[in-house]
Chain A
Amino acid sequence: MTAVAARLRPLTGHRLFWPALVLVVMLAANTVYRPGFLAVEVKNGHLYGTPIDILRLSAPLILVALGMTLVIATGGIDLSVGSLCAISGAIACLHISGAADQNSPATVATALALAFGAALVLGAWNGVLVAVMGFEPIIATLILMVAGRGIAQLVTEGQIITINSGPYRAIGLGHFLTLPLAILIALAAALLVAAFTRRTALGLIVESVGGNAEASRLAGIRSRRIVFLVYVISAACAALAGFMVTANVSSADGNAAGLWIELDAILAVVIGGTSLAGGRFSLGGTVLGALIIQTLTTTVYAMNISPQTSLLFKAVVVIAVCLVQAPAFRARLRRRRRGTEPGPAAPQREKEQVPA
């Protein structure tokens, strides 16, 4: 028994073990409940099936969560991403709906550029508030979270703007090489972020800023510039997610687009093992976390439970995953199980201040 446990330790000790286990358990439970769950078939040259749906629907969440991971790694938090989704979607749809030919690629490209630019400006606003003016991140981004919904409704004038544009629709529902375009975009973004943070020193710098901004500054890192940068990246990711969310339904609703996506994104990041205190991050964990959340949602829908009641399950999963990962909880469990074993020196990171 102990031998098995000892051999499994490197595996169970891996930071992605618990999130991956939760995902596998959920998929297995689904397959037991509904044998056809994992079936994937080819129709009209495209792949179809529940797993593909989960991937496609989780794309916006993955995008937002990627940006959020970097922000959280610097010890911050970005509450404004949901509002940014709504604003970017609204601006893009407004431009397309006003154009003569909604299907022209030039129109769509201009719309995307406009909306993307607006999102970058708003991201820069967040960045200035946090990095230059030194506002608490949670409150700095709360400003745009509250005001941003108003701005989005201002853009759409309180209406739901519907559009009929093939190229724009493709962002959410199109296919490329048999796979949904949305998941490919999310994958590309994930690889891009991973390449920039893990193949260059950027990731290390981000982590050092999150660990101790002042010490990093004294070590010669331009902390403020890094903090500013992550909020702009987060806004860019949110804008892409906003395009997907609005393209999925071919309409922009200032109120509903991207509603609560910031909370789901923060959850995905935390489930993926990134500490809210900052100082380290795991992009793979974040993607896993986003997939867990989407799988949970899809599972609950498949069981004919109302979407709102699915929040109950979400609450249970969140608490369970967070408890399993909480050093204090694990230490307590270990003490109860056996008083003798000192346990593998848990990488207990002491930080004075956690955001919020």
Chain B
Amino acid sequence: MSSTSLTTGRSWRPSLPRRHVPVLATLALLLVMYGIGVSQYRAFSNIQVVFNVFIDNGFLLVVAVGMTFVILTGGIDLSVGSVVAMTAMVSASLLRDGLPAALVLVIALLIGPTLGFLMGCAIHFFEIQPFIVTLAGMFFARGMCTFISDSSISITDGFWTSMSQQRIGDPAGNFVSISVLIAFAVVLIAAYVLAYTRFGRNVYAVGGNAQSALLMGLPVARTRIAVYTISGLCSAIGGILLSFYTLSGAPLIAVGMELDVIAAVVIGGTVLTGGSGYVFGTVLGVLVLGVIQTLITFDGSLNSWWTKIVIGGLLFAFILLQRLIGIRFK
């Protein structure tokens, strides 16, 4: 199977493939919003503003990449926010107990995928809806957070603080944190896996039509379980990045994050019924959310709840767009 697109010839317009339109629309929206910001606020054109969007949303980006895999197969993962919090919590408490940083990293990175693997098994073998299974996963992970500690634990470990404070930048004073580089690495690996590997093709095939994929002899079980494991891994990485960012683990951090993540993926042009979407779109979706927050912060007179209303409005606009373009939609 080649890596070129599998669309049939008739619906294919050579100039602009229809499946690219949502991503391009997101890109246009992002540019327009950035343009508005630059024209309204002088400080907005500072390149550091862009870097800050990445620094503040690096963990969101990583988690959204994992969610993209799950949504591409037509599933959903509600547990991501809680798994992020649980990972941060576990790392903080283990570090407080004096474990070496490397060991803590390994343990923290194993918890998320394990939970994801178990959820994937429950979804595939027992045919329980992903919504319910990952909801239980969300409850479990959030419960574990408070089980570990009722209050937030600060991190004083040397490795963590150096990762948190390390600035990589130019002499002009613009910088990014290490978290941003990790997030970029995750994005690149995910984009490569989805576009150029057999596994990536399987993900699209299962999302397009699981029954057909099964009849074609594709490993549906393995793919389905793998995407939830990947989502768990991405949540775990996101949790580590969040603990770098806040230098603490708090039981109620990242509550409701799954909604932001799903919104980012949808705004990025991935269809919720699966089978169509790109990691690059997800990156744009996260950036749109980040720029909205930055705009509202710059404005100062708008209140934080406008963020939610605007995100809701954007969700509506983008689904309407997908509907109008007529991408495979049930």
A residues with a Cβ closer than 8 A to B are 77, 133-136, 138-140, 142-151, 153-154, 157-158, 254, 263, 266-267, 270, 276-277, 306, 308-316, 318-319, 322-323, 326-329, 332, 352-356
CB pair B323–A323 under 8 Å, yes or no, is no
- B35 in the interface, Cβ–Cβ < 8 Å? no
Check B129 against A356 for contact (C-beta < 8 Å). Answer: yes
A139 to chain B, nearest CB (A): 5
Judge whether A328 and B126 touch: CB under 8 Å. yes
- Cβ–Cβ contact A254 & B305, under 8 A: yes
6 extra interchain contacts, Cβ-Cβ under 8 A, other than A143-B315, A146-B263, A356-B272?
A: A276-B132, A308-B146, A310-B143, A311-B146, A312-B140, A356-B76
Name the B residues within 8 Å of A354 (CB-CB).
129
Are B315 and A263 in touch, CB under 8 angstroms?
no
Are A312 and B139 in contact (CB-based, < 8 A)? yes
The answer to the question of B307 belonging to the interface, with a C-beta cut-off of 8 Å to chain A, is yes
Are B143 and A142 within 8 A (Cβ)? no
CB of B290 within 8 Å of the partner chain:
no
The range of chain B's interface size is 35 or more
Q: Measured between alpha carbons, how far is A140 from B319 in the docked complex, in Å?
A: 8
Residues in A whose Cβ lies below 8 Å from that of B144 = 312
B181 within 8 A of A: no
Q: Please determine whether B262 and A151 come into contact, CB atoms closer than 8 angstroms.
A: no
B266 proximity list for chain A (CB < 8 A): 139, 142
B306 interfacial by beta-carbon distance below 8 Å: yes
Q: Shortest beta-carbon distance, B82 to chain A, in Å?
A: 9
Q: Interface residues, chain B, CB within 8 Å of chain A?
A: 75-76, 122, 125-133, 135-137, 139-140, 142-147, 150, 211, 251-252, 259, 262-263, 266, 272-273, 303-309, 311-313, 315-316, 319-320, 323, 329-330
User: In whole angstroms, what is the CA distance A157 to B303 when docked?
Assistant: 9
Query: From A154, which residue of chain B is reached at the shortest CB distance?
Result: B305
20 contacts between A and B (CB under 8 A): A135-B319, A138-B131, A143-B319, A146-B311, A149-B305, A149-B308, A150-B309, A151-B309, A153-B303, A153-B305, A267-B135, A306-B150, A310-B143, A312-B143, A315-B143, A318-B136, A319-B136, A322-B136, A323-B122, A328-B126
Give the secondary structure class of A's interface. helix
Q: Is B330 a contact partner of A136 (Cβ separation < 8 A)?
A: yes
Q: For the complex, give the distance between the alpha carbons of A134 and B305 in Å.
A: 28
- The docked-state distance in angstroms from the alpha carbon of A352 to that of B211 is 8
How far is B142's CA from A323's CA once the two chains are assembled, in angstroms? 21
Tell me whether B128 and A311 are in contact (CB under 8 A). Answer: no
Whether A147 and B273, one on each chain, are in contact in the complex, defined by CB atoms closer than 8 angstroms, is: no
Per DSSP, chain B at the interface is: helix
Q: Does A266 contact B312, Cβ atoms closer than 8 Å? A: no
- When chains A and B are docked, how far (Å) is the Cα of A310 from the Cα of B147? 9
Instruction: Give bound CA distance, A139 to B266, whole Å.
Output: 9
A311-B140 contact in complex given A148-B312, A328-B126, C-beta closer than 8 Å: yes
Tell me which residues across on chain B come within 8 A of A148, comparing CB atoms.
312
Among B136, B137, B252, B311, point to the contact of A147 (Cβ < 8 A).
Answer: B311
- Chain B residues contacting A157 (CB-CB under 8 Å) are 303
Shortest distance in angstroms between A306's beta carbon and chain B's nearest beta carbon? 5
CB-based contact A327/B127 at 8 Å: yes
* Residues of A contacting B252 in the complex (Cβ-Cβ under 8 angstroms): 308
B272 near A138: Cβ-Cβ < 8 Å: yes
How many angstroms between the C-alpha atoms of A353 and B211 in the bound complex? 10
B162 vs chain A, min Cβ distance (A): 32
Q: Tell me the complex Cα distance, A211–B119, Å.
A: 27
Q: Are A266 and B135 interface neighbours, CB within 8 A?
A: yes
Contact of B312 among A146, A316, A327 (CB under 8 A): A146
The 4 closest A-B pairs by CB, nearest first: A147-B312, A150-B308, A312-B143, A308-B146
Q: Are B315 and A139 closer than 8 Å at their CB atoms?
A: yes
Contact A323 B128 (CB under 8 A): yes
Least CB distance from B257 to A in Å reads 12
A336 to chain B, nearest CB (A): 13
Q: How far is the CB of A63 from chain B (nearest CB, A)?
A: 20
Interface centre among B136, B211, B262 (most CB of A within 10 A): B136
Known: A135-B323, A147-B312, A319-B122. A308 touches B143 (CB 8 A): yes
List, in ascending order, chain B residues with CB within 8 A of A254's CB. 305
Q: Which residues of A contact B129 (CB under 8 A)?
A: 270, 276-277, 354-356
Does the CB pair A136–B273 fall under 8 Å? yes
Distance in angstroms from A129 CB to nearest chain B CB is 8
> Quick one: given A143-B315, A158-B305, are A314 and B130 in contact (CB under 8 Å)?
no
B308 neighbours in A (Cβ, 8 Å): 146-147, 149-150, 153
In the bound assembly, the distance between CA atoms of A143 and B251 in angstroms comes to 27
Please report the C-alpha to C-alpha distance between residue A135 and residue B323 in the assembled complex, in whole angstroms: 8
Given contacts A328-B125, A328-B126, contact A147 B142 (CB under 8 A): no
Asked if residues A311 and B142 are in contact (CB atoms below 8 Å), the reply is yes
